[in-house]
């Protein structure tokens, strides 16, 4: 997948990162420790073994996961990823982040996530379809429009979502479009969904610049990861006057200090599969982009890009987390000490789940919104969420990540207190 970057070194368990973030934010709020235990751990983690007959007649068994971290505020919501490095630990962490992300933008979803440990590049389309359908069939009692709604993630796309919708619909004996989001438009997908995460990154960077007294026009940016999120964010930020000087993908990176031609680069990637070799550029690595002297650094790939080993090299004024979990807790402390303004993942990249919510709503009422309506509603949600988070940061004198977790945890805990704990 373009824009995909895998961390070979995991400084600590990804789920342990999330637990540490939750513990810290909850302690500042004075939340009852027993309630903290309830909100930290996933409510349900399912592991399925998926035997698939391959095109050559042989059989292989794949491992799939679906984790529901919380359904207190509504159905679990979260993507399905296909990647050889998928583990239960990672899926649990991502499901937890989804709980807090949905709460930060105040949409009525809980957190979920799914994954299959597979390198999709080694499978044919026919084999991927069989794998997807078997995964859904084994999780029919887990997913559903009122319980757990999957979406695209790493190495999954509209086609994958179409297979999920069809498989589920065949089993329940009626077409159920709201079981999944990120579908093709012709099957009930939402206009603006593909661009939503990158648009959310642009909107939160814009809001951060306002608070910091920075002029967005003329600002410089470097982006690690040039997949859907990174490329859309780059395109929209460039339209706002930002100069994108460096981007990388899984194959390498390119630098042009005068500014990259983002529309040309997007077209080049569509033709070649990578940013590498784009005319008028010089090569650059992920580590070099992290250390660039830019106004905005956008990590838009996978987890743990910025660690204690390289955080001190970051020179950007703003780190806008287009990816989930790109900064470890130890690195977070270093960035904060350096005075770098962090737009945390659970706020920065929440545009995708917000428009997924819009898609779910449209499916349930049987009505479609225009792209302008979708983008307008998304802007209202993201601007409001940024303002709420910034207010908490100022009130408690904490960084934006801690503030976002505090805001989200308070919203989840308040619902738990009102609903009570069933026993």
Q: Residues 73-93: pLDDT tens digits? A: 999 999 999 999 999 999 999
- Report, as an integer, the average pLDDT of 213-238: 97
| φ, ψ at 381 (rounded to 5°) | -65, -45
Q: Are 216 and 206 in contact (CB under 8 A)?
A: yes
Confidence of residue 304 (pLDDT cuts 50, 70, 90): confident
Q: Is 113 a catalytic residue?
A: yes
Q: Rounded to an integer, what distance in angstroms lies between the CA atom of residue 323 and that of residue 303?
A: 7
Q: Rounded to an integer, what distance in angstroms lies between the CA atom of residue 345 and that of residue 54?
A: 37
Of 385, 401, 388, whose CA–CA distance to 351 is shortest? Answer: 385
In this structure, how many other beta carbons lie within 10 angstroms of the beta carbon of residue 137? 14
Q: Which residues pair with 176 in a beta bridge?
A: none
In this structure, how many other beta carbons lie within 10 angstroms of the beta carbon of residue 413? 20
The catalytically annotated residue of 101, 113, 183, 317 is 113
- Is the pLDDT at 336 greater than 70? The verdict is yes
Average pLDDT in the chain: 95
CA 11 to chain centre: 20
Scanning 158-261, the segments in alpha helix (DSSP H) are: 158-172, 193-212, 228-239
Q: Are 197 and 322 in contact (CB under 8 A)?
A: yes
The class (CATH top level) of 42-176 is alpha beta
Give me the residue label for tokens 């069939």.
137
Give me the residue label for tokens 């991927």.
128
- Is the pLDDT at 111 greater than 90? The verdict is yes
The predicted-structure confidence for 283-293, as pLDDT tens digits, reads as follows 999 999 999 99
Confidence of residue 4 (pLDDT cuts 50, 70, 90): very low
Supply 251's token pair. 């194959």
Q: Rounded to an integer, what distance in angstroms lies between the CA atom of residue 347 and that of residue 331?
A: 18
- Is the pLDDT at 35 greater than 90? The verdict is yes
Instruction: Give the angle subtended at the CA of 325 by the CAs of 319 and 327, to the nearest 5°.
Output: 50
Give me the residue label for tokens 């690195």.
331
Q: Where are the beta strands (DSSP E) in 265-391?
A: 282-283, 296-299, 318-320, 341-343
Q: pLDDT exceeding 70 applies to what percent of the chain?
A: 97
Q: Are 306 and 331 in contact (CB under 8 A)?
A: yes
Confidence of residue 1 (pLDDT cuts 50, 70, 90): very low
Q: Are 132 and 165 in contact (CB under 8 A)?
A: no
Of 300, 317, 319, 249, whose CA–CA distance to 278 is shortest? Answer: 249
Q: Which residues pair with 62 in a beta bridge?
A: 50
Could you tell me the residue ranges of all domains in the chain? Answer: 42-176, 194-348
DSSP H or E segment with residue 165 = helix 158-172
* Residue 121 burial (10 A CB sphere; 0-12, 13-18, 19+): exposed
Q: Are 96 and 69 in contact (CB under 8 A)?
A: yes
- Report, as an integer, the average pLDDT of 329-355: 96
Q: Are 311 and 336 in contact (CB under 8 A)?
A: no
pTM of the model: 0.93
Q: Rounded to an integer, what distance in angstroms lies between the CA atom of residue 159 and that of residue 140?
A: 19
- Is the pLDDT at 350 greater than 60? The verdict is yes
The predicted-structure confidence for 394-404, as pLDDT tens digits, reads as follows 999 999 999 99
- Is the pLDDT at 57 greater than 80? The verdict is yes
Matching CATH topology for 42-176 and 194-348? yes
- Report, as an integer, the average pLDDT of 334-362: 97
Radius of gyration of the chain (CA): 20
Q: State the number of CA atoms in the 13 A half-sphere of 104 facing the CB.
A: 34
DSSP 61-122: EEEEEEEEEE-SSSSEEEEEEEETT--HHHHHHHHHHHHHHHHHTT-S-EEEEEEEE--GGG
Predicted confidence at residue 14, as pLDDT, reads 80
In this structure, how many other beta carbons lie within 10 angstroms of the beta carbon of residue 363? 24
Q: Is 252 helix (H, G, I), strand (E, B) or coil?
A: strand
- Is the pLDDT at 6 greater than 80? The verdict is no
- Is the pLDDT at 303 greater than 90? The verdict is no
Q: Is 300 helix (H, G, I), strand (E, B) or coil?
A: coil
Supply 140's token pair. 């029919």
Q: Which of 2-6, 21-25, 80-84 has the lowest mean pLDDT?
A: 2-6
DSSP letter for 123, please. Answer: S
CA 375 to chain centre: 18
In CATH terms, the fold of domain 194-348 is: Rossmann fold (3.40.50)
Confidence of residue 10 (pLDDT cuts 50, 70, 90): very low
Predicted confidence at residue 12, as pLDDT, reads 59
Q: Which residues pair with 66 in a beta bridge?
A: 46, 114
């Amino acid at each position: 997948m373009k824009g995909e970057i895998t961390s070979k070194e995991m400084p600590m368990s990804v789920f342990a990162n999330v637990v540490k973030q939750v513990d810290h934010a909850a302690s500042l709020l004075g939340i009852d420790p027993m309630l903290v235990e309830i909100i930290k751990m996933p409510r349900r983690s399912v592991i399925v073994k998926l035997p698939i007959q391959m095109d050559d007649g042989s059989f292989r068994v794949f491992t799939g996961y679906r984790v529901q971290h919380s359904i207190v505020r509504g159905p679990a919501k979260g993507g399905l990823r296909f990647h050889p490095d998928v583990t239960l630990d990672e899926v649990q962490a991502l499901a937890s982040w989804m709980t807090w992300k949905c709460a930060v933008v105040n949409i009525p979803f809980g957190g979920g996530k799914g994954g299959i440990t597979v390198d999709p590049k080694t499978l044919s389309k026919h084999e991927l379809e069989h794998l997807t359908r078997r995964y859904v069939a084994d999780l029919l009692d887990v997913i559903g429009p009122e319980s757990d709604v999957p979406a695209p993630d790493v190495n999954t796309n509209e086609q994958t979502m179409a297979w999920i919708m069809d498989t589920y619909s065949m089993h329940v004996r009626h077409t159920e479009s709201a079981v999944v989001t990120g579908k093709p438009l012709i099957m009930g997908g939402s206009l603006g969904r593909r661009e939503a995460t990158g648009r959310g990154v642009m909107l939160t960077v814009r809001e951060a610049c306002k608070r910091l007294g920075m002029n967005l026009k003329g600002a410089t940016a470097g982006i690690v990861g040039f997949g859907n999120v990174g490329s859309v964010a780059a395109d929209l930020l460039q339209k706002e006057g930002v100069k994108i000087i460096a981007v990388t993908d899984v194959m390498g990176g390119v630098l042009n200090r005068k500014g990259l031609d983002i529309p040309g680069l997007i077209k080049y990637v569509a033709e070649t599969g990578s940013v590498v070799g784009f005319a008028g550029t010089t090569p650059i690595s992920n580590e070099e982009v992290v250390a660039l002297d830019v106004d905005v650094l956008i990590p838009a790939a996978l987890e743990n890009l910025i660690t204690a080993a390289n955080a001190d090299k970051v020179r950007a004024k703003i780190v806008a987390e287009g990816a989930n979990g790109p900064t470890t807790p130890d690195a977070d402390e270093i960035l904060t000490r350096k005075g770098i303004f962090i737009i945390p993942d659970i706020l920065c990249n929440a545009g995708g789940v917000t428009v997924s919510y819009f898609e779910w709503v449209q499916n349930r009422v049987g009505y479609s919104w225009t792209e302008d309506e979708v983008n307008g509603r998304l802007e209202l949600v993201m601007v409001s969420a940024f303002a709420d988070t910034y207010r908490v940061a100022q009130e408690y004198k904490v960084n934006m990540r801690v503030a976002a977790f505090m805001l989200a945890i308070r919203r989840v805990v308040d619902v738990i207190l009102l609903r009570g704990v069933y026993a």
